[in-house]
């Protein structure tokens, strides 16, 4: 009986781990989560709006920790989840910004 409960607990832990990995993979696949796939903007105010609309995998909201240039024409914004404290980088294509 004890071995059966151990197997059930192990299977439950594996299922939870797989769900967490899938949730993180979906988050990384969103636009702006990789330098190679930045979000195109036309105004710097769109960065603030985009950050406010983003949600962490845990359901929390992000707060901006810092921002700066990443590459030529790409700006990176470092955010932190206010619930679980996960750090995320959001990338923006600023080549279309009108000065």
The CA-based angle 52-56-84, given to 5 degrees, is 115
Strands (E), 1-99: 39-40, 62-71, 74-81, 87-93
Q: Identify the bridge partners of residue 39 per DSSP, sorted by sequence position.
A: 92
Predicted pLDDT at 21: 80
Determine contact, residues 35/91, Cβ cutoff 8 Å.
Answer: yes
Specify the pTM.
0.72
Structural contact between residues 65 and 80, judged by C-beta atoms closer than 8 angstroms: yes
What residues does each domain of the chain span?
A: 2-93
Per-residue pLDDT at 88: 92
The per-residue pLDDT string of the chain (99 residues; one tens digit each, 9 = 90 and over) reads 778 888 888 888 888 888 878 877 776 667 788 888 999 999 989 999 999 998 888 889 999 999 998 878 899 999 999 999 999 999 999 998 876
């Amino acid at each position: 009986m004890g071995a059966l409960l151990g197997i059930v607990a192990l299977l439950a832990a594996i299922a939870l781990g797989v769900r967490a990995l899938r949730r993180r993979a979906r988050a990384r696949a969103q636009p702006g989560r990789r330098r190679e796939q930045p979000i195109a903007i036309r105004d710097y105010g769109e960065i603030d709006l985009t950050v406010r609309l983003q949600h962490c995998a845990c359901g929390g909201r992000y707060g901006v920790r810092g921002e700066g240039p990443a590459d030529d024409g790409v700006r990176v914004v470092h955010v932190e989840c206010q619930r679980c404290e996960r750090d995320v980088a959001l990338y923006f294509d600023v080549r279309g910004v009108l000065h």
